[in-house]
Amino acid sequence: MHPRQTLRDKKKEATSTALAEAAYELALERGLDGFVVDDVAERAGVSRRTFANYFSCKEEAVATAAVTVNSGQEEYEELVASLPPDAVPLDILHRLLRMQLTAGFLQRLRRFVALSKRYPALEPYTLSVFRRVQLAAQEVLEQFVRGRYPAWYVQLLVGAVYGACVPILEGNLNVRMPGESESDSPGALPFDQFLETTFAYLRNGF
């Protein structure tokens, strides 16, 4: 796994998170066209020059905020340490996905996707946001199964599982997200049920 963060690393991460959160909040409050980089820096309590050290534009900062509630390195390490040595990749991935896709994280991703539909400048970042989550899971899985399964198998498995979730985030499948009531999405399949069904198909080879 990655080495432990130094105090400097943690400070840099805190600054990046503060800037991303500020941009995300402003986007929700004013719309993407209702603020500029200076507004983001001011809300985060840093200079515009500091903003430029972390992000190339406000769109990138907004997109980064969509994954700031995701699990961190320590959580991944704890998960791997708790796994039995004979755990199969699909079961590991199931646990990783459930750890990552919390109700708060999914709701934030959904809001980001909704923003991207209103503001085309965000669209290039939509898939990259979820891709970052996918790559984090792939890295953990590769380190756990190294030597037992070929790299292409891990990539294929991760791509299949995370790819199945993209249409939900884009609103193209009638799936009810955690925290939503049945009246919000009549007839929708609960997310937990969707997830269990997806993994059942994978275990049975479709």
CB of 167 closer than 8 Å to CB of 126: no
Q: 7-65: which CATH architecture?
A: Orthogonal Bundle (1.10)
Q: 73-203: which CATH architecture?
A: Orthogonal Bundle (1.10)
Domain assignments of the chain as residue spans, ordered by start: 7-65, 73-203
Q: How confident is the model at residue 1 (pLDDT cuts 50, 70, 90)?
A: very low
pLDDT for 51-82, tens place per residue? 999 999 999 999 998 876 555 667 777 877 78
pLDDT at 95: 87
Q: Where are the alpha helices (DSSP H) in the chain?
A: 7-30, 37-44, 48-54, 58-65, 73-82, 89-100, 103-118, 123-145, 151-169, 191-203
| pTM recorded for the entire structure | 0.75
**29 vs 102, higher pLDDT:** 29
